[in-house]
């Protein structure tokens, strides 16, 4: 049976007819919506920011974690557990030296986001140089390892029991945001052939249901001489992402979706011009987290909607409360002093509630929720 939302557009009281624009003077807007930013929505008009709380009790609160304070580990399976649920697992991995063993994730596709440094990645499919700003999608079951000359920091995003796909780009077409031709892939080049010739004993550490099994070979199993097909690792750098823009309307984060999985999406914020229409808001609008837990990893630049946030931090805005720009950013809601944003960030919208890992709890800015109504700074 087909179905549709109960839908009856209404304008009641003092309100603008166009969302995110032409607000009554001295007021702010709050969005209540279904299915993230894809379903029906209503926009409340308030005389005060809906983040003006004076006290907070209970576990449901905005949280922030400084991953830059976490140390290195030898393997992605020893990386720091940050946030997870049954369909998604994020880990923070600082790799200070080349991996001595191969790894294989049997739990789901793995998305590597390189935050700092560079490395040589070797996998079943060949060799790929990776550097800061790269997304690298590794299909479930891929054997891989990296070689580093200096420390490299990565955010690992596992699609547990699932896979990654590209978003439906709808009316703007398949070549919007990034052309699929921009996706690089590993090559069976001289570097791959040289490592394949490395003799001796090789171990493969396989993760399945968060348990590790080790398989030992008397040779290097990364020894393919050719392949063909449509399942393969891909890489794209944030500098190659061309954001959708509107000079008259502040687009929701869903417009910047980069990868889609079964119960979450990955979006990318990159520099873009600010809206120029005088009536259009020019900061993220206040909104209820009604269906998703929102996670943002701050990669580089000036994070214009947040105070006291630096690269390498992660924020978690769980389902069930209103959030939006900090007071400093809200002061520039209609007039910006610059022509464009200057930020790179990775956003994850998770449909199911996320649990905070013990490692993340150890580097938490405990009073982050107070930063909307005070000059609170991270400890």
pLDDT above 80: residue 377: no
Of the residues 20, 84, 250, 326, which is catalytic?
250
Domain boundary among 194, 220, 238: 238
The reply to whether 223 sits in an annotated binding site is no
Alpha-carbon Rg for the chain, nearest whole angstrom, is: 22
- Asked whether residue 204 falls in the same domain as residue 106, the answer is yes
Tell me the C-alpha distance between 255 and 234, whole Å.
Answer: 22
- Asked whether residue 89 falls in the same domain as residue 226, the answer is yes
376 band by pLDDT with thresholds 50, 70 and 90: low
- Asked whether residue 33 falls in the same domain as residue 172, the answer is no
Shortest CA distance to 348 belongs to which of 247, 235, 236, 267? 267
Q: At 80, which CATH number?
A: 2.60.120.10
Domains in the chain, number? 2
The reply to whether 299 sits in an annotated binding site is no
Q: Is residue 376 part of a domain?
A: no
- Asked whether residue 43 falls in the same domain as residue 89, the answer is no
Query: 204 near 102, Cβ under 8 Å?
Result: yes
38 band by pLDDT with thresholds 50, 70 and 90: confident
4 band by pLDDT with thresholds 50, 70 and 90: confident
Q: Give the H or E element holding residue 65.
A: strand 63-66
Q: Is residue 150 part of a domain?
A: yes
Q: Is residue 23 part of a domain?
A: no
Q: Is residue 174 part of a domain?
A: yes
Shortest CA distance to 251 belongs to which of 61, 8, 27, 31? 31
- Asked whether residue 47 falls in the same domain as residue 77, the answer is no
User: Once rounded to an integer, what is the mean pLDDT over residues 347-358?
Assistant: 97
Residue with tokens 């107070």: 370
- Asked whether residue 79 falls in the same domain as residue 228, the answer is yes
Cβ-based neighbour number of residue 168 at 10 Å: 8
- Asked whether residue 115 falls in the same domain as residue 249, the answer is no
- Asked whether residue 226 falls in the same domain as residue 293, the answer is no
pLDDT above 80: residue 337: yes
Query: 88 near 300, Cβ under 8 Å?
Result: no
Domain boundary among 238, 259, 289: 238
Q: Give the pLDDT score at 117.
A: 98
Q: What pTM was computed for the model? A: 0.96
Q: Is residue 255 part of a domain?
A: yes
| 91-127 confidence digits (pLDDT tens) | 999 999 999 999 999 999 999 999 999 999 999 999 9
CA 42 to chain centre: 26
Which two three-digit tokens encode residue 53?
Answer: 């709380």
Q: Is residue 206 part of a domain?
A: yes
What is the average pLDDT value for the chain, to the nearest integer? 94
- Asked whether residue 89 falls in the same domain as residue 234, the answer is yes
Q: Whole domain around residue 345: which residue ranges?
A: 28-64+242-363
pLDDT above 60: residue 192: yes
- Asked whether residue 47 falls in the same domain as residue 102, the answer is no
Q: Is residue 91 part of a domain?
A: yes
Tell me the C-alpha distance between 82 and 90, whole Å.
Answer: 6
- Asked whether residue 270 falls in the same domain as residue 183, the answer is no
Domain boundary among 238, 256, 273: 238
Q: How far is CA 27 from CA 30, 274, 343, in A?
A: 10, 20, 27
Residue, of 289 and 237, whose pLDDT is higher: 237
Active site residue 115: no
- Asked whether residue 88 falls in the same domain as residue 231, the answer is yes
5 band by pLDDT with thresholds 50, 70 and 90: confident
Shortest CA distance to 230 belongs to which of 134, 95, 139? 139
The reply to whether 293 sits in an annotated binding site is yes
């Amino acid at each position: 049976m087909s179905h549709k939302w109960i839908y009856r557009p209404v304008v009641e009281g003092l309100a603008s007819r166009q969302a995110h624009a032409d607000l009554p003077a001295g007021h702010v807007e709050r969005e209540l919506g279904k299915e993230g930013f894809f379903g029906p929505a209503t926009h409340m008009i308030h005389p005060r920011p809906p983040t003006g709380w004076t006290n907070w009790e209970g576990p449901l609160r905005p949280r922030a974690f400084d991953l830059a304070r976490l140390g290195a580990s030898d393997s992605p399976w020893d990386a720091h557990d940050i946030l997870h649920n049954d369909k998604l697992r994020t880990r923070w991995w600082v790799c200070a030296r080349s991996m001595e063993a191969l790894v294989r994730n049997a739990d789901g596709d793995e998305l590597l986001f390189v935050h700092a440094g560079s490395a040589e990645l070797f996998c079943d499919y060949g060799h790929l140089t990776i550097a800061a700003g790269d997304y690298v999608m590794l299909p479930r079951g891929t054997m891989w390892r990296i070689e580093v000359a200096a420390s490299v920091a990565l955010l690992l995003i596992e699609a547990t029991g699932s896979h990654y796909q590209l978003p439906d780009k709808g009316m703007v077409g398949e070549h919007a945001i990034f052309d699929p031709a921009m996706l690089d892939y590993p090559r069976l080049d001289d570097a791959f052939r040289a490592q394949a010739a490395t003799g001796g004993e090789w171990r493969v550490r396989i993760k399945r249901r968060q348990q590790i099994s080790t398989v030992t070979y008397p040779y290097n199993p990364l020894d393919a001489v050719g392949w063909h097909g449509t399942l393969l690792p891909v890489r794209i750098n944030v500098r190659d992402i061309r954001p959708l823009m509107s000079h008259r309307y502040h687009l929701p984060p869903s417009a910047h979706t980069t990868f889609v999985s079964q119960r979450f999406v990955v979006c990318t914020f990159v520099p873009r011009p600010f809206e120029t229409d005088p009536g259009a808001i020019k900061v993220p609008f206040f909104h209820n987290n009604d269906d998703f837990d929102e996670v943002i990893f701050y990669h580089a630049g000036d994070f214009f909607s947040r105070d006291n946030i630096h690269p390498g931090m992660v924020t978690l805005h769980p389902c069930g409360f209103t959030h939006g720009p900090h007071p400093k950013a809200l002061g520039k809601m209609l007039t910006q002093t610059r022509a464009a944003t200057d930020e790179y960030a990775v956003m994850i919208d998770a449909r199911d509630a996320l649990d905070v890992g013990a490692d993340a709890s150890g580097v938490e800015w405990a009073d982050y929720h107070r930063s909307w109504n005070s000059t609170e700074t991270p400890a």
